[in-house]
Structures are given as structure tokens and as C-alpha cells.
A and B are shown apart, each in its own frame.
Chain A
Amino acid sequence: MLEINALCKSFGGVQASQSVTMTVPQGGITSLIGPNGAGKTTLFALITGFHTPDSGSVRFLGQDITCLPPEAIATRGMIRTFQTVQPFAGQTVRENIAVGAHLKIRGRTEALAKAEDVARQVGLGDRLDMDAGSLTVAGRKRLEVARALATDPKMILFDEVLAGLNPSEIRDVIPVINTIRDAGVTILLIEHVMQAVMSLSDYTWVLNQGAIIAEGPPREVVSDPHVIEAYLGKGMAERIAKREAASA
């Protein structure tokens, strides 16, 4: 569904994305993990048109979308959310979600009705008339999800939708994401919460210093020595292996 081919981007001397090649199949949940500063959010921004890549290409549904502006990509059915939540403060939850709904729906009444449906779906049904700026962090994360969902997307890119939530809030949001997948929306998520990565995703890509260093089902990936070293430092994989061998 999404094919990224040799995508490169540098900011000054920093290679934020070094020839990243990855694919996301239709349906299911794919995750993208990596230590802080690995370039995950930059990759999202490159895919969704917020940054233009220096070289390489992005194909979505078989069409080249490299260098298209964000709104054109959103119109094609790929929506991203933001790591730092970006509510339209001063507008109500209903109005916020309706902005997403308006992508496909022209009429105001219909868009507001759709917003209400989506709000119920993500558990914001009781806060429809609240100012989006006064929502809690968990509420704002839900709002991000709701706005994206209201556009009727084919694919959603979630950027750390669980970050900053406490364990019980995470337990609440995970089923919401599962429902979205079950509705047939392809999901690519950046996540630090490993519990979520393991339980949600079917396939995982690992990014470090702007390059893909591993891929595979999440359980295999987390035991990959390259991945352990990327997260914990050089030599750690060897030491863990030794310790496990000793205790076995």
C-alpha cells in the first residue's frame, strides 16, 4: 500500500533519513520503532509531504506522491497525527472533528453529525461541546485520532499516539486503535510504548540514525542484536546473550 524507496533527507550536516526503504502492506498495523532522534517523525513528515525529500520516492496505492503537499496526500486517503497534539483550541471537540469530516463531506450538518459519530467511537462522546483546548492530554490524543478518523482515510499514520498516557489510559486507547484496524484502515504507528508495539502490530521496522536497521515481526525484532545495541549501546547484545547463556 505504501512503498518508500531510498528516501534521503538531511538538515545541514545531519542525515535525518539515509536511504530509507520500507513497505507497508494493506490492512493490519505496522509499527516503526527506534531510539530518540532516530528520525521517525522526520520520516512521517517526509511521507506526508510536510518535508520534501532530497532524493528517493514515496508511492501510495501505486501512485507516486513524492513532493505532493500535505493536503493533496490527505485527500488521497493518508492522514497523519502529530506527536505533540495540535488541537484547534478555542473550538469545540465537535468542531475540531468536523474539520476532518469536511474532507469528504461538504454539508455542515452532515459533517457535524459525522463528527458526533466518530467522537462516540473514540470515547469522546461526552465531551462534544467542550473547548478542545481544555481537554486533558489523554483527551487530546483521542481528539487527534478522531480527527484523522473522520476523514474516512485509507491509511493513518499515528505519531506516538500513546506517549504521555498512563497505563490505564493506554489500555483504553489500544482497543480504539484495534477497532480502526478492524474497520479496514491500514495503520502505521510510531511508538515508544513497547507493550503497545508488541500487542498491536503485525510487523515492525526499526529506524536508527536515519536508517532502517531491522524489520520483522515484533517479537523477532526485539531480540535482534542490532536493535538491542541501537537502544542500549554497543556490546550490550553480546553481554545479554552471555548472561542468558550463563543462567540457562
Chain B
Amino acid sequence: MNQANKLLMLIVVFGLIALAPMLITQESLLNIVIMTLYAALLGQAWNILGGYGGQVSFGHAAYFGTGAYAVAVLQVQFGINPWLGLVVGGFAAAAVGAFIGFCTFRYGLRGSYFALVTLAFAEVLRILSNSVDFTGAGVGLLIPLERSAANFQFASKEGFFWVIWAMTFAAFLTVWKIGNSRFGAQLMAVRDNEDAARALGVDAFRVKMGAIMLSGFFAGLAGVFYAQYFLYLDPHIAYGAAISVESLLVPIIGGMGTLFGPLLGAAFLHGLSELSRAVIGDAPGISLVLYGVLLVVMVLFVPRGLAGLASHLRSGKPAESRVEEGKGHA
């Protein structure tokens, strides 16, 4: 699929999703669509750094939580409008990304070392938010209920739908642009072979910094949305491992480094968890067990994710792992 066709397909897909509020009248069903879009946003954020940049992060909760806390703290402690908080949250998360990126990429941390450090940063933030007062510490923050669009709290789910639809669409357009730009070409070159990229004049540090800030920004937006949607935050929700896991699971299942992967992954995961709830009931932890099994199966048999599977089925070739192809050199 060439870049122009991808853009067209992206517009068509989001156009179809935009019909959801018209077709779906049941609030609980619309909620599933909203949560799927939210997961796609979070997954796409991770995908920028992990899928396109090859820097696997285990700590995307650091950005998510920063976005969420930014909007919540500004409202609760300072009475600042959450729409402004949305902007602040995005940029605050990007700043956290810049800090973590600077600390890790400066010293050439790659692969599992990078992953572990990101995990540690998210944990540090969780413990910090658990121990200072202005985040509400362990009790958490309750955003006062004040339903109005001007207050980023909508009376119906439809309002939230449009906000998350727009943010997710923006994230996907950004990623389309990445796939079609010098920055993206350099980012993917760094992912596939950092030394070769540097030999061709790619400033790997600068490129990775760009990716982690962009990734942090969108994860921060997802955090802001979460805070406004549920109106409650505590350190475990904002900076907990569950968010980090979800943000990497979605693109890995959908297809890392692909434009549509996070959307496929989000739809698949949410479909699965709804199905499991219907079949098995709401046993605590059952979705985590399923996620774990799914991750193992995907990594073993479909390492390029659903998007990779789809493109291979179309071209009639067996799904191969890129890692394996990369090994066969010289």
C-alpha cells in the first residue's frame, strides 16, 4: 500500500468510526468504542517510540500518568480549566519523555536496558505521586463533577466520543506523516541498524529524542482523557504497570511499526475482553491472564502482529518475523 492510499484508508476508517454515535444508541456500547479509541491512542503513542523507533518502553505509564495528573492537579488544586489542562498535560508528558530520553539515550542505553530504565522511571513517579500532598497521595484525586462541555465533562458519552475520536485521529495522522517524512525514515533506520544509520549522517540521539517526546505527548493526551472520563485518579491507576502493559500490548498485537496496527490491536483486545467478560464473567484478573496468553501466542506465531498478518495474507507469503530476516546477513 503506498502512502497516499494509506492516508485515504485512514480517512475512510476514521470516517466510518465517526458514524458510531449515530448508529449506536446504547451508552454501554458507545463506551466500548470510546475505550477502544482510547486504547488505540495509547497504543499508537507507544508505537511511535517502540514500533517506529525500536525503543521498547515498559514504562509508558510515566507519560500517561503525567498527563492525567497534570489535568487533575491543575483543576483540583488551582482551578484551571481542563481544556487548558489538556494542552499542559500533553506537553508535560512530552517533557517527561524528554527527560527520560535524555537520561537513557545520552548514554546509549538500548534494548532491555532501556526497557528496564523506563520501567524504573514509571515506578519512581508512582512512588512520588503516592507520597506528595498535591497529587492527593495514596488517597488519589477526585475531580469535582461539573457536567458541561466547557469543563471537559460531557453529559452524554457522545461528547467524550468526539474528543477521543479527534485526538486518536490526530495521533494516527501524525504517524502517517512519520511514515512519509525524513524524520520517520531516519527513525526507522535507527531502529533497524543504529550504526549504519549514524554512518549515513543520521543523528540517532536527536531522532530518538524526537520520537520519545512525540510518544510522550500522545500518551499524555490519553492520560488527560482518562482523568476527565473517569474523574478519579490514584497513583496506581496513573503510574501503575497496567497502563504500561496495555500501551505495549496493543501495538504488539496489532503490529509494531505499522500505521493501523494499534487500531487493530485495540479493537481485538477490547473485543476479547468484552467476550471474556460475557463468557467467563467478571472474575478479577481473568483479562490479565488472557492478555498474557495472547502476548505469548502473538510473539511466537505472529511476531509482526495482525497488520503484518493481514498484509502477508494479501500478498500470499507466509508471515515471517523481521527479526529472523535480519539475522541472515553475510
Contacts and interface: CB of A to CB of B under 8 A. Distances in A.
B185 A80 contact: no
A180 to B, nearest CB: 16
Interface string B142-175: 0000000000000000000000000000000000
Contact of B200 (A85, A99, A134): A99
A10 to B, nearest CB: 22
The size class of the interface chain A forms with chain B is: 35 or more
Interface in A68-118: 69-71, 74-75, 79-82, 84-91, 95, 98-100, 102-103, 105-108, 111
Q: Which of B182, B201, B322, B326 counts the most chain A CB atoms within 10 A?
A: B201
Interface in B195-213: 195-204
A30 interface: no
Nearest to A102: B182
Given A70-B198, A108-B182, A164-B330, 10 more contacts: A71-B203, A74-B201, A82-B196, A84-B329, A86-B329, A88-B192, A91-B192, A99-B200, A103-B202, A147-B196
A194 interface: no
Contacts, number: 99
A70 B199 contact: yes
25 contacts: A50-B199, A69-B198, A69-B203, A71-B198, A79-B200, A82-B199, A84-B329, A84-B330, A85-B329, A86-B195, A87-B329, A88-B189, A88-B193, A89-B326, A89-B329, A90-B326, A91-B188, A95-B185, A99-B197, A99-B200, A102-B186, A108-B180, A111-B182, A147-B200, A148-B200
A157 to B, nearest CB: 9
Given A69-B198, A74-B201, A99-B185, A133 B328 contact: yes
Contacts of B203: 69, 71
A74 B326 CA distance: 25
A128 B328 CA distance: 20
A147 B199 CA distance: 10
Contacts of A84: 329-330
Interface in B313-330: 322, 325-326, 328-330
B198 A87 contact: no
Interface residues of B, number: 25
A40 interface: no
A66 interface: no
Interface of B: 180-182, 185-186, 188-189, 192-193, 195-204, 322, 325-326, 328-330
Q: Which of B189, B200, B322, B326 counts the most chain A CB atoms within 10 A?
A: B200
Contacts of A71: 198, 201-204
A48 interface: yes
A79 B203 CA distance: 14
Top 4 closest pairs, chain A to chain B, by CB: A74-B201, A88-B192, A86-B196, A133-B325
Q: Which of B185, B188, B322 counts the most chain A CB atoms within 10 A?
A: B185
A85 B192 CA distance: 13
A119 to B, nearest CB: 15
Nearest to A82: B196
Nearest to B198: A70
Interface in A112-145: 131, 133-134, 137, 140
